[in-house]
Amino acid sequence: MNHTLIPVEQALSTLLEMTPEAQQTEVLDLLQCAGRVLAEDVVSQVNVPPADNSSMDGYALRYQDRLAPLPVSQRVAAGHPASPLKLGTCARIFTGGEIPLGADLVVMQEAVSFTAFDDVVVPENLTLGQNIRPAGQDIRQGETIVHQGTRLDYRHLGLLASVGVAQVSVFRRVKVALLSTGDELVMPGTALKAGQIYNSNRFLLQGYLEKMGADVVSFSQVPDSYEKTLEAMRSAAAIADVILSTGGVSVGEEDHVKPAVEALGELSLWRLAMKPGKPLAFGRIGPCLFMGLPGNPVSTFVGAQVFVQPLLIKLSGEKVSDKPLLQGKVHFSAKTQIRQEYLRVQAVWQDQAWQLHAYANQNSGVLSSTVHANALAIMPPQHQVSAGDLLDFWFY
């Protein structure tokens, strides 16, 4: 048996190479698209704003007419068309009002005075174009405003609506089937018996998957039985793009995930140079991908951050990018052996730098550490840090 530990970066690269690009799309109304990934570039068919308009309440006039009192020849409110400006006059205009043809500046209402005949007297210090928002100042017709692979949020929806887009093409949500394995697991709300524990991984992963925009299509809690595991895998593969399981990926007598997936498809079982989360299973059952995470809850948590997230990003059609790494000063001492470690830390901005405080108990069964911390600090293999040293980290 090969006992070589695979570096995290190598495993992640192999995993993504085996993961297909997103293909299936659907056209949805804009209000249905928050959290969805855009399947094609959106090009604006209009200018924003569509015409020159006033940035404030005031008076629109010709620069050449500024020296004499000007009668008001029209009133222009936002949403109403303007007539060409008559020579020697000005237009009463309101914020957002379309600039009349011929006018080339707007004077704010607070800066003008009036004659006894209610003609407008403007100040001397005027400039061409002042207080005018030109057509296309924000967006030009023909400009790509949102690119394929963008996960849409409320900002993008507002931008798309501003150019009149009512529907867009988005990639279909990734369908994920969750499996929890183990006789010891029971659901919250049930009284524990001797040897039992509550199934926290189901709730941790389902919440995480939904946050990532995936569609959790099924959940199965599978006892330690080869036949039951085989049945659950076959059913899940028929309806999902990805099966994500926890537990059962080691080589013990009660670990049935590996032989079940191999019977239905193909599987690679990797021993990673990673702590927590050394065992990782990855393969496929037909077109359905399979990923098996360790059962310890913190191993599941870290595995979701390191492996599940980039897998879902690629499957969803979102542009894959590296996690934004920051650096912080550590307030602890630590040393790694041959595995890369992911430490749960509280990152605090203080004294013009990020300060990293490690959770006291880094055991892979201590799920409370993920709540009390807010980031993962990365300790490379064969590495040692003392208080004041720098470590890379990312917020989760």
Task: Parse the chain into domains and list their residue ranges.
Answer: 8-23+173-316, 26-45+145-171, 53-133, 326-395
CA separation for the pair 180, 300 (Å, rounded) = 11
Q: CATH assignment of 53-133, given 3.30.450.20, 3.30.70.260, 2.170.190.11, 3.40.366.30?
A: 2.170.190.11
Region 183-190: what's the mean pLDDT? Answer: 93
In this structure, of 84-93, 122-131, 231-240, 253-262, the range with the lowest mean pLDDT score is 253-262
Q: Using one digit for the tens of pLDDT, what is the confidence trace for 34-72? A: 999 999 999 999 999 999 999 999 999 999 999 999 999
The CATH homologous superfamily for domain 8-23+173-316 is: MoaB/Mog-like domain (3.40.980.10)
Q: What angle do CA 161, 162, 167 make, to 5 degrees?
A: 25
Tell me, what's the pLDDT at 193? Answer: 95
Share of the chain above pLDDT 90, in %: 93
* One-letter identity of residue 259: P
Confidence of residue 321 (pLDDT cuts 50, 70, 90): confident
Contact (CB, 8 A) for 95 and 78: yes
Q: For residue 347, what are the β-bridge partners?
A: 356
Axis-axis angle for helices 309-316, 8-17 (nearest 10) = 20
What is the average pLDDT across 347-361?
A: 97
Q: Are strands 175-181 and 242-246 parallel, antiparallel or unpaired?
A: parallel
DSSP 263-310: HHSEEEEEEBSEES--EEEEEEETTEEEEEE-SSHHHHHHHIIIIIHH
Confidence label for 324 from pLDDT (cuts 50, 70 and 90): confident
Label residue 6 by pLDDT band (50, 70, 90): very high
pLDDT of residue 250: 63
Select the more confidently predicted residue: 321 or 77.
77
Quote the pLDDT of residue 251.
58
Per-residue model confidence as pLDDT tens digits over 277-311: 999 999 999 999 999 999 999 999 999 999 999 99
Burial class (CB in 10 A: 0-12, 13-18, 19+), 388: exposed
Task: State the pLDDT confidence band at 1, using cuts at 50, 70 and 90.
Answer: very low
pLDDT level of residue 9 (50, 70, 90 thresholds) = very high
**Per-residue pLDDT, 254:** 60
Q: Report pLDDT digits (tens) over 87-105.
A: 999 999 999 999 999 999 9
Return the CATH number of the domain spanning residue range 26-45+145-171.
Answer: 3.90.105.10
- Average pLDDT over the chain reads 95
Structure confidence at residue 243 (pLDDT): 98
CB burial class (10 A; 0-12, 13-18, 19+) of residue 22? buried
Please determine, for residue 21, whether its predicted confidence score (pLDDT) is greater than 50.
Answer: yes
| Interatomic CA distance for residues 353 and 26, integer angstroms | 45
User: How far is 276 from 336, CA to CA, in rounded Å?
Assistant: 12
Structure tokens at 385: 């840090």
The pLDDT assigned to 288 comes to 97
Q: With respect to CATH, is domain 326-395 assigned 2.40.340.10?
A: yes
Q: Which residues pair with 340 in a beta bridge?
A: 274
What are the b/e assignments for 225-246, b being 16+ CB within 10 Å? eeebbbebbeebbeebbbbbbb
